A and B are shown apart, each in its own frame.
Chain A
């Protein structure tokens, strides 16, 4: 564990000394809970429609695939037409794009970002690297199958998929959400132990609480 995460005595500006335990004071320890659809079907369908038409992507690029997302914001492909927007903070986003290969170091950040997002939230894996490792299949520090670590709703294949493929992927994701099948956040909460075990298997310097939101 890093020094900055160890409990320590801090002297405040007014001269009073107090103890800080970063893992306990700066993070919340409660584990995720399942939030099933609670409204009657017609309301839930309406909400699912609204969720599908308002996809807010977390602006977080993990690999070379991130470069394929930029043309989506610019005049040529302009994903804003389809209700897809980018948000700079995980609190407001509800779609995490894992864009390409994911090194174990980045996986840690991806997990933290995912856990800070608000449910219902969706994960899309971009490119072959998230499915089976792709051209990094024998690399020592990238993960091979993304859905062992995060609940993936949709994969978009290719190395790299072109922006057209991404737009088609968004449309497919919308259909999944509208059908009420995009319950990745609940799946993550139900199989939390399994996901954590997988994550800890590859992340050796685990210096954060198990669930940090």
Chain B
């Protein structure tokens, strides 16, 4: 297989577009949440300014080697997830580095950032960070289970592990989308989606109102800015996977922006309606409601 070097700048372009859109979308979603609380909320450009400010802070302190690597791992998780699945279906420029087995790699990258974060936050030595990480990992693990089973169902259904092939199989009509051909698997995956978006009711890990704000307690300045960058990229990358697997993918950027926005909006709507779960409640919720639906989706195939 010969490698075309032009794919690297193309992938970087995709990354840049997703990054800028992610920052904007984060602020817009926060504004929508604020409107539900009858506030105006932050300006739509606030996330860009926060990022510049955090990079511009003059002092940083470190707690050790893993403390450096935590945010780097986290960002690697987000960027890797984005780079190894096709962002725009059918456009060679934004197909990135997708290959035959990328579905398995994507599943791995979804989890990769959390693990890196666990190591980094552990190194920071702050007890709140350790509490946050243990809460976060247990919740993410529970949330990942329905998603993983749903992905197996989809892979069985289309008899392939390539995201590109799965998208290709859904083209033609809206009713070819997985959401219509296998609604049970998609329902389970959307439950898992809520768990990994860090919006209520599943944001106890990171919520600033909780006394320990979780893993990033000790992170500041450029470390925090790296993690903010990841907060912009990772949800979009995750939604790209969902879009590709369940909602027919996107053939151009406007469709991409719209589908990602609607997916994010779904999480935000659930978030403003329901109060926050404690960790053991959310773990139970995923196991009791998410997993059986996902298994049923497996039998549907």
Nearest-CB residue, chain B, relative to A34: B58
Find out whether the CB atom of A50 lies under 8 angstroms from the CB atom of B42. no
A83 and B270 CA atoms in complex are apart in Å by 26
The answer to whether the Cβ of B287 comes within 8 Å of any Cβ in the partner chain is no
Q: Which of A76-92 contact B (CB under 8 A)?
A: 78, 80-81, 83, 85-89, 91-92
CB distance from A79 to the nearest CB of B (A): 10
Q: Which of A47-84 contact B (CB under 8 A)?
A: 47, 50-51, 53-54, 74-75, 78, 80-81, 83
The answer to whether the Cβ of A136 comes within 8 Å of any Cβ in the partner chain is no
CB distance from B121 to the nearest CB of A (A): 12
A139 and B34 CA atoms in complex are apart in Å by 42
Nearest-CB residue, chain A, relative to B216: A92
Which of A28, A53, A74, A213 lies at the interface centre, i.e. has the most chain B CB atoms within 10 A of its CB? A53
Chain A residues near B34 (CB-CB < 8 A) = 78, 80
Number of residue pairs spanning A and B whose beta carbons lie under 8 angstroms apart: 76
Find out whether the CB atom of B39 lies under 8 angstroms from the CB atom of A120. no
Other-chain contact of A81, B42, B53, B57 (Cβ < 8 Å)? B42
The answer to whether the Cβ of A103 comes within 8 Å of any Cβ in the partner chain is no
CB distance from B230 to the nearest CB of A (A): 15
Find out whether the CB atom of B37 lies under 8 angstroms from the CB atom of A75. yes
Find out whether the CB atom of A89 lies under 8 angstroms from the CB atom of B39. no
The answer to whether the Cβ of A109 comes within 8 Å of any Cβ in the partner chain is no
A-contact bits for B26-66, CB 8 A (1 contact / 0 none): 00000000100111111100100110110011111100000
Find out whether the CB atom of A83 lies under 8 angstroms from the CB atom of B43. yes
CB distance from B65 to the nearest CB of A (A): 17
Chain B residues near A8 (CB-CB < 8 A) = none
Find out whether the CB atom of A51 lies under 8 angstroms from the CB atom of B53. yes
Nearest-CB residue, chain A, relative to B34: A80
Chain A residues near B224 (CB-CB < 8 A) = 92
Find out whether the CB atom of B220 lies under 8 angstroms from the CB atom of A47. no
Other-chain contact of A118, B43, B59, B209 (Cβ < 8 Å)? B59
The answer to whether the Cβ of B218 comes within 8 Å of any Cβ in the partner chain is yes
The answer to whether the Cβ of A119 comes within 8 Å of any Cβ in the partner chain is yes
- Give the interface size bracket for A toward B: 20 to 34
Other-chain contact of A91, B39, B46, B220 (Cβ < 8 Å)? B220
Other-chain contact of B59, A35, A46, A53, A83 (Cβ < 8 Å)? A35
Chain A residues near B39 (CB-CB < 8 A) = 74-75, 78, 80
Nearest-CB residue, chain B, relative to A89: B217
Other-chain contact of B40, A81, A94, A118, A213 (Cβ < 8 Å)? A81
A86 and B207 CA atoms in complex are apart in Å by 12
Find out whether the CB atom of A213 lies under 8 angstroms from the CB atom of B61. yes
Find out whether the CB atom of A81 lies under 8 angstroms from the CB atom of B50. no
A78 and B34 CA atoms in complex are apart in Å by 10
A146 and B41 CA atoms in complex are apart in Å by 32
Chain B residues near A118 (CB-CB < 8 A) = 57-61, 220-221
The answer to whether the Cβ of B211 comes within 8 Å of any Cβ in the partner chain is yes
A-contact bits for B172-215, CB 8 A (1 contact / 0 none): 00000000000000000000000000000000000011110100
A120 and B56 CA atoms in complex are apart in Å by 9
Find out whether the CB atom of A119 lies under 8 angstroms from the CB atom of B59. yes
CB distance from B201 to the nearest CB of A (A): 20
Find out whether the CB atom of B53 lies under 8 angstroms from the CB atom of A50. yes
Find out whether the CB atom of A50 lies under 8 angstroms from the CB atom of B219. no
Chain B residues near A81 (CB-CB < 8 A) = 40-43
A89 and B58 CA atoms in complex are apart in Å by 18
Find out whether the CB atom of B40 lies under 8 angstroms from the CB atom of A80. yes
Find out whether the CB atom of A53 lies under 8 angstroms from the CB atom of B61. no
A86 and B41 CA atoms in complex are apart in Å by 13
CB distance from A46 to the nearest CB of B (A): 8
Other-chain contact of B50, A54, A74, A119, A185 (Cβ < 8 Å)? A54
Contacts A/B (CB < 8 Å), 7 sampled: A47-B56, A54-B52, A81-B40, A81-B41, A83-B46, A87-B208, A118-B60
**Apart from the given pairs A47-B52, A80-B39, A120-B57, 14 other A-B contacts in the complex at a CB distance below 8 Å:** A50-B56, A53-B49, A74-B39, A75-B37, A78-B41, A80-B40, A81-B41, A85-B42, A87-B208, A88-B211, A91-B217, A92-B216, A118-B58, A118-B220
